[in-house]
Amino acid sequence: MAELAPSTLWFTIAALGLGTYLIRFSFLGFLGGRTLPPLALRLLRYVPVAVFPALVAPQVLWPSATGGEFDAPRLLAALCTLLVGLWRRNVLLALGAGLGLLLVLELLRGL
Amino acid sequence: MSSRLSPRPATVFWEGVRDGTPFIVMVAPFALLFGVVAAELGLSLAETLGFSTLVIAGAAQFATLELLDAGAPVSVAVGTGLAVNLRMALYSASLVPFFGRAPLRHRAWIAYALVDQVYALALLRFQGREEPQGARLAYYAGAAAPICGIWILACALGAQAQSTVAAVPGLDFAVPLTFLAMVTPMLKDRPSAAAAVVATGLAILGHELPLNSGMLLAAAGGMVTGALLEGLGEAHG
């Protein structure tokens, strides 16, 4: 770590913690029991199906474990998870299939 | 009241625990790794625990720590971490229909535990299922307990044990795969599938934009696509 005083580090932790909490609290806390307009409700229904793919897609193509280099086993593992998930609609089965495939491919690469 | 028709909160709490517990396997390696990295950068156990209990957000913790290590100003490190967490404002808004009328003291802890996996489990349960608010609170608490608990515990363990972890190949990829696996059951209609496809495409196009803004623009594009298609579907019958 570049020279950093403990007080600076604690300031960073506190600022990041407080800011993150306010982000999480934002709508839930300050909007409270007010009824949202229908258009907002309609948009919000698509938060999970929009946010999770947007988080994952760049990590699948440019994984941080390989320093951002494209990695075929990780792409295949992601496709495997996606297909098993769409086919069986089972979160744990889809995850197990993808992780299992990646483990096998990584072990094969080590041979 | 309908106590005979609706299950007791304790029962629903344990259903949440049951659904949240498997995610220990996915969260623990990431948390252990954070502990290891933090210890290698010279953070004390208290400082590592400060990150994992006060911030409780993996990607932002890594981003902030890496920037500090690279000598970036504190403002840049904190700003980047917050940008990474901005998606949680969307999670917060999308929980309003389910928890908006809960007392403030409940909304306060709901916000604290609003991490990706807990959010996804809650939505998988709440969407399309009518149940009293007490049951929803109990389920959320049950799902959050193992996931948030293991995050904090494993960060501390990683800081103590250091480099013995992360030896299993491929575990670095458990978190993206978790998110993918959790989203697939939600892709059950055309607007949802289209939202996911548009968000994926935009995130790939915008992955080099600064401060995580590509991800946020992609999420917005996906949400608008889903809402528009839903509206078109209604207009046509």
Q: Tell me: the pLDDT tens digits for B144-170?
A: 999 999 999 999 998 888 655 556 677
Do residue A71 and residue A89 come from a single domain?
Answer: yes
Q: So what's the ipTM on this one?
A: 0.87
In this structure, what token pair is assigned to residue A66? 């390989």
What was the pLDDT predicted at A80?
A: 98
Is A28 in the same domain as A66? Answer: no
Overall number of domains in chain A: 2
At B1, is the pLDDT very low, low, confident or very high (cuts 50, 70, 90)? very low
Q: Are A50 and A96 part of one and the same domain?
A: yes
* Cβ distance of A47 and B89 shorter than 8 Å: no
Q: Is B219 exposed, middle or buried (0-12, 13-18, 19+ CB in 10 A)?
A: buried
For residue B5, what pLDDT band results from cuts at 50, 70 and 90? low
Substitution target in A21, A52, A69, A93 with the highest count of B β-carbons within 10 Å is A52
Whether A22 and A56 map to the same domain: the answer is no
Domain that includes residue A9, residue range: 1-34
Find, among B133, B125, B97, B112, the residue nearest to B1 by Cα.
Answer: B133
The beta-carbon neighbor of B227 closest among A14, A46, A52 is A46
Give the alpha-carbon dihedral of B67, B70, B72, B76, to 10 degrees.
-10
Looking at the structure, tell me whether residues A20 and A70 fall in a common domain: no
Average of per-residue pLDDT across B66-80 = 84
Helix A72-88, helix B174-183: angle, nearest 10: 30
Domain boundaries, chain B: 9-182, 187-237
Q: Using alpha carbons, select from B228, B173, B55, B223 the residue that is nearest to residue A65.
A: B173
Q: Which of B88, B97, B170 sits opposite A106 (nearest CB)?
A: B170
* A 24-53 residues inside an 8 A Cβ radius of B: 24-29, 31-34, 36, 39-53
Work out the average pLDDT over B87-102. 93
- Asked if residue A44 and residue A26 are part of one domain, the reply reads no
Q: Does A6 touch chain B (CB under 8 A)?
A: yes
Shared domain check, A95 and A63: yes
**pLDDT recorded at residue A31:** 83
